[in-house]
A and B are shown apart, each in its own frame.
Chain A
Amino acid sequence: MLTHLASPVTVNWGITARCNFVCSHCFSRLDRSPELSGDDARRVVDILAAQGVMFLNYGTGEPLLRGDLFPLTEYAVGKGMKVTMNSNGSLIGPAAADRIREAGFHSVGISIDSADPGTHDGFRRMPGSFEKAVGAARLLRQRGIPLSVSSVVCRVNHRDFPALVSLAKELGAHTIDLHNFKCSGMGGLNKERLDLSPEEWKGFYEAAVPLRRSEKGIDIAFDDPILSLLGEEEQGKLVAGSVCGKLSLYIRPDGEITPCGFIPVTIGHILKDDFGKVWNDSKVLAHLRTKAAAGKCGGCAKFSSCLGGCTARAYAVHGAWDAPDPHCWLGD
């Protein structure tokens, strides 16, 4: 099947850069860009809905800090979009959980990085945040809102994931997203302390992938193109390599469009440029869709399936789209 989509399937939208946490790994904590007005935010929804974007995911800062979150979501849901968000859960009490259900959220991701409260609170640099996140997850499930647990795998938790998966199951999550650490934003500043070596990443995946196969009742998602190094293709992924610019795009709080949240390269503006043209004609996106094997990727038998791995990591470390993924353990 030839896969060029008429528009992204998913748009990740930083509706605000504001956050009440200062997490050590956050890609957007250094982002000081102003957020769009309510009217402009609705125009963004109009544009994305007209383009047939199926999923709209709020991320970046804490979405619940945005005052018009619920009317904006109702507006997007009314346009036929499936709206999801990632939240640290700290602002989700019973009333907010009720509004989340009423607004029609398709699913809500709560960030929980460890089943150990001290580890989670330390990583999130917010005492009591574990308790609030778990409490938020329970409130959402009590209201029948589909829940995912979102975790960033790094040095503080890479051996603890079985307990984390068990916690996510106990909370009633349909999916646990074990995101790999990205060295963007604060993550770039704390790379030495938080990132794993390529061999450690290999060890993590060799342990975690069998759990994904054996675990029942919850989907364990990695969304990491270097999984193909283990012969583990993401089922139903449709594209090789990173999905950024192939299935998804990112919109910053100020409306600038980038291939993904971890790639700070602007390719247009959602309100100033023709979104369809950006998607179809951007030279940056064209490059990401047709990466060339560079460095140790040259001649590597895995390149056709991993396409050099995560482009965001490669760009952050090497400043080049085609550079090998720094997490890759082959050929070192």
Chain B
Amino acid sequence: MVPKRNPEVVWRLEKGIHEMAWDKARKDEEYEDLGVLTLMVKGSIHQLNLVGAEIWTRINGINSVEKIAAEIGALFGWEAVEAHDAIIEFLKGIAERGWVEFSEKAAPASPKWKGH
């Protein structure tokens, strides 16, 4: 299963705050309440914390849920099953909001142009 971002969602990583959250995470300090990534959807504004931001930035229509879960698990030191379940739950939540949709196959990663 491959998640793909809704192109109508406008987003950015919060410069400085992203780095601050990682600094806290590495020091085992609380980072979960920091808004690291800001999204604007149909006039509504939302924020994701560090984990949400790291998942969001890996959603590209190519990476599968399994690949994202493996990377996030490795980043935060989670067990594979724990990471997979957490990512699935997160993705379901944002899919219900219409921020992502799922497809069975990844979009082609190769260039669409042809050389002459």
Contacts and interface: CB of A to CB of B under 8 A. Distances in A.
Complex A-B, nearest 4 residue pairs according to Cβ-Cβ distance, in ascending order: A236-B44, A6-B14, A6-B15, A238-B45
B40 A9 contact: yes
B10 A5 contact: no
Contact of B47 (A3, A82, A235): A3
A108 B87 CA distance: 37
Nearest to A10: B40
Interface of B: 10-17, 33-35, 38, 40-47, 49
Nearest to A238: B45
Q: Which of B13, B33, B42, B45 has the most CB of A within 10 A?
A: B45
27 contacts: A1-B33, A1-B34, A1-B35, A1-B47, A2-B33, A2-B35, A3-B35, A5-B14, A6-B17, A7-B15, A9-B38, A9-B40, A52-B13, A52-B15, A54-B11, A54-B38, A54-B40, A174-B42, A175-B43, A219-B43, A221-B43, A235-B44, A236-B43, A236-B46, A237-B45, A238-B45, A247-B45
Contact of A2 (B34, B40, B43, B45): B34
A110 to B, nearest CB: 17
A54 B45 CA distance: 12
A82 B46 contact: no
Contacts of A318: none
A262 interface: no
Interface string A282-305: 000000000000000000000000
Interface residues of A, number: 21
Q: Which of A55, A174, A236 has the most CB of B within 10 A?
A: A236
Interface string A1-26: 11111110100000000000000000
Interface of B is mostly: strand
Given A6-B17, A9-B38, A236-B44, A54 B10 contact: yes
A221 B49 CA distance: 27
Given A52-B12, A54-B10, A4 B17 contact: yes
Interface of A: 1-7, 9, 52, 54-55, 82, 174-175, 219, 221, 235-238, 247
Contacts of B11: 54
Given A2-B34, A2-B35, A238-B46, 19 more contacts: A1-B49, A2-B33, A3-B47, A5-B35, A6-B17, A7-B15, A9-B40, A52-B14, A52-B15, A54-B10, A54-B11, A54-B40, A55-B10, A219-B42, A219-B43, A221-B43, A237-B44, A237-B45, A247-B45
Contact of A54 (B12, B17, B44, B49): B12
B40 A55 contact: yes
Contacts of B40: 9, 54-55
A9 B38 CA distance: 8
A238 B37 CA distance: 13
Contact of B38 (A2, A5, A175): A5
B10 A6 contact: no
A282 to B, nearest CB: 17
A253 B21 CA distance: 37
Contacts of B38: 5, 9, 54
Nearest to B34: A2
Contacts of A82: 10
